[in-house]
């Protein structure tokens, strides 16, 4: 019988607290199945406190990469599955040893099938001897060995030695849906990633001010949403036509207040789209003090127009910390492409940094007669891109 390849998936016991365990695991299995839909993978199985992905050897590398991005998984190991017969196990262990550079090693044997004639310590000692016989320059080290070969003897036997740490978190979807205000910048994709890691399924809302922002700028946001979807599974991107509203604001409102008023309209529209799609919150990439509109007063005045909770996972982070995550998750290189952003085009010379709600509402007054109609129209004309 040919050796088969699997990915052993471990999920965190701690993160199960307070959540329904079965619901959590079933959702994780479902998300894994979705991620592996395009693979030749035969099966995703729940067994004894972990999940096993059966995979074709030719797709193992891609499979490991894909599995690493699924939230709720703490670590994975590529393993071979073989018959529970000692000569077969010996061969697999030797092959595992050949594939690594090491000077010290150990065997960690676990017998789960009591019908197997040797007990765990005996299996370990025996296989250790086999490795020593074939690799005469190596030594056994029980603590901190360079190579630890795990041999789990069950109905079939699993042999592996690599543990790949993953992102952890909660399975996407277990915390419900949220609308992520996704710009082409560095911050908002990171904010989306962080909330998805807590089990949120994001839908993305992008405000497009054509022709002030080009097709290329929109493509960039599409690309960012695609990268995010590698972590979240399918994502819908709502592209809101924002030109009319933005132009009107610049035309009718005091220059110093335009940034804040533009942001208030973004929040209103994002909330309307969220409510239409059963999303229970909004997510932004704001970080305290990073720009003029992100002071406490700025955040308060933009927050004042919405009733849904607004999640700002980057609020206490430095730019450098955000950049590190952006690099780590693969959005940074796309985010720094130099296409214009609708907020940077209309930046006032002296933006309000300590806006008071009363004055912003007064400044916004000329917009309000038409506001409801304009917002409805923007929502209606929103283009939905399925990614």
Contact 347, 320 (CB under 8 A): no
> Would you count residue 183 as binding Mg ion (CB under 5 A)?
yes
DSSP string across 153-203: ESSEEEEE---EEEEESB-TTTT-EEEEE--SSSHHHHHHHHHHHBT-EEE
Stretch that binds Mg ion, among 125-133, 148-156, 177-185, 197-205 (CB under 5 A): 177-185
Contact 339, 218 (CB under 8 A): no
The interface partner of residue 148, options being Mg ion, ligand ATP, none and the CB cut-off 5 to 8 Å by kind, is: none
> Would you count residue 334 as binding Mg ion (CB under 5 A)?
no
Reported residue count of the chain is 387
Nearer to ligand ATP, 91 or 295 (CB): 295
Tell me the Cα Rg of the chain: 27
Nearer to ligand ATP, 20 or 296 (CB): 296
Minimum distance between the CB of residue 188 and Mg ion, rounded to whole angstroms?
A: 7
The interface partner of residue 172, options being Mg ion, ligand ATP, none and the CB cut-off 5 to 8 Å by kind, is: none
Minimum distance between the CB of residue 342 and Mg ion, rounded to whole angstroms?
A: 9
Q: Which of 172, 152, 15, 167 is nearest to 76 (CA)?
A: 167
Nearer to Mg ion, 106 or 264 (CB): 264
Nearer to ligand ATP, 80 or 283 (CB): 283
Nearer to ligand ATP, 158 or 206 (CB): 206
Minimum distance between the CB of residue 181 and Mg ion, rounded to whole angstroms?
A: 10
DSSP E strands in the chain: the ranges are: 4-11, 43-47, 50-55, 73-83, 104-111, 139-140, 147-153, 156-160, 164-168, 177-181, 201-208, 236-241, 282-283, 310-311, 383-386
The interface partner of residue 271, options being ligand ATP, Mg ion, none and the CB cut-off 5 to 8 Å by kind, is: none
Minimum distance between the CB of residue 99 and Mg ion, rounded to whole angstroms?
A: 46
42 three-state secondary structure: coil
Residue nearest to Mg ion (CB): 185
Nearer to ligand ATP, 123 or 240 (CB): 240
Contacts of residue 56, Cβ cutoff 8 Å, sequence gap at least 6: 5, 39, 40, 41
Minimum distance between the CB of residue 182 and ligand ATP, rounded to whole angstroms?
A: 5
Where on the phi/psi map is residue 233: left (φ > 0), alpha (ψ -120 to 50), or beta? left
Quote the CA–CA distance of 48 and 156 in Å, as a whole number: 14
The interface partner of residue 182, options being ligand ATP, Mg ion, none and the CB cut-off 5 to 8 Å by kind, is: ligand ATP
Nearer to ligand ATP, 67 or 194 (CB): 194
Minimum distance between the CB of residue 288 and ligand ATP, rounded to whole angstroms?
A: 11
Nearer to Mg ion, 145 or 282 (CB): 282
Residue nearest to ligand ATP (CB): 185
Minimum distance between the CB of residue 322 and ligand ATP, rounded to whole angstroms?
A: 8
Minimum distance between the CB of residue 269 and Mg ion, rounded to whole angstroms?
A: 16
Start-to-end CA distance of the chain, whole Å, equals: 40
**232-266 burial string, b = 16+ CB within 10 Å, else e?**
bbebbbbbbbbbebbebbeeebeebbbbbbbbbbb
Q: CA dist 225 to 180, 203, 229, 235, 366, Å?
A: 10, 9, 6, 7, 35
Residues that bind ligand ATP (CB under 6 A): 181-183, 185-188, 205-207, 266, 284-286, 290-291, 293, 342-343
Minimum distance between the CB of residue 244 and ligand ATP, rounded to whole angstroms?
A: 15
36 three-state secondary structure: coil
The interface partner of residue 89, options being Mg ion, ligand ATP, none and the CB cut-off 5 to 8 Å by kind, is: none
The interface partner of residue 86, options being Mg ion, ligand ATP, none and the CB cut-off 5 to 8 Å by kind, is: none
Nearer to Mg ion, 131 or 217 (CB): 217
Quote the CA–CA distance of 222 and 239 in Å, as a whole number: 9
- Which residues of the shown chain bind Mg ion in the complex (CB under 5 A)? 183, 185, 341
């Amino acid at each position: 019988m040919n050796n088969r390849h699997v990915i052993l998936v471990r999920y965190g016991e701690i993160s199960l607290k307070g959540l329904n365990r079965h619901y959590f695991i079933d959702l994780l299995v479902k998300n894994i199945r979705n991620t592996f839909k395009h693979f030749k993978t035969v099966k995703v199985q729940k067994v004894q406190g972990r999940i096993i992905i059966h995979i074709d050897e030719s797709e193992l590398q891609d499979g490991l990469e894909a599995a690493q991005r699924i939230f709720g998984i703490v670590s994975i190991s590529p393993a071979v599955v073989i018959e529970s017969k000692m000569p077969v196990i010996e061969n697999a262990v030797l092959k595992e040893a050949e594939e690594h550079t090491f000077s010290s090693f150990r065997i960690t044997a676990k017998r789960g099938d009591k019908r197997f004639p040797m007990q765990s310590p005996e299996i370990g000692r025996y296989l250790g001897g086999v490795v020593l016989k074939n690799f005469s320059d190596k030594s056994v080290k029980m603590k901190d060995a360079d190579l630890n070969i795990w041999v789990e003897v069950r109905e079939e036997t699993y042999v592996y030695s690599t543990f790949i740490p993953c992102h952890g978190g909660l399975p996407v979807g277990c915390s419900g849906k949220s609308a992520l205000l996704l710009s082409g910048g560095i911050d908002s994709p990171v904010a989306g990633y962080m909330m998805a890691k807590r089990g949120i399924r994001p839908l993305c809302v992008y405000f497009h001010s054509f022709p002030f922002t080009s097709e290329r700028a929109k493509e960039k946001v599409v690309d960012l949403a695609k990268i995010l979807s590698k972590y979240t599974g399918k994502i819908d991107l709502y592209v809101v036509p924002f030109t009319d509203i933005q132009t009107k604001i610049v035309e009718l409102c005091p220059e110093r207040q335009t940034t804040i008023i533009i942001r208030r309209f973004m929040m209103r529209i994002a909330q309307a789209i969220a409510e239409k799609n059963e999303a229970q919150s909004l997510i932004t990439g704001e970080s305290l003090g990073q720009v003029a509109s992100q002071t406490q007063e700025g955040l308060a005045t933009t927050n004042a127009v919405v009733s849904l909770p607004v999640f700002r996972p980057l609020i206490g982070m430095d730019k450098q910390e955000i950049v590190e995550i952006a690099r780590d998750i693969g959005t940074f290189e796309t985010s720094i492409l130099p296409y214009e952003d609708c907020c940077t085009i209309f930046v006032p010379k002296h933006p309000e940094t300590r806006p008071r709600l009363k004055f912003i509402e007064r400044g916004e007054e000329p917009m309000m007669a038409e506001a409801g109609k304009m917002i409805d129209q923007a929502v209606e004309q929103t283009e939905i891109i399925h990614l």
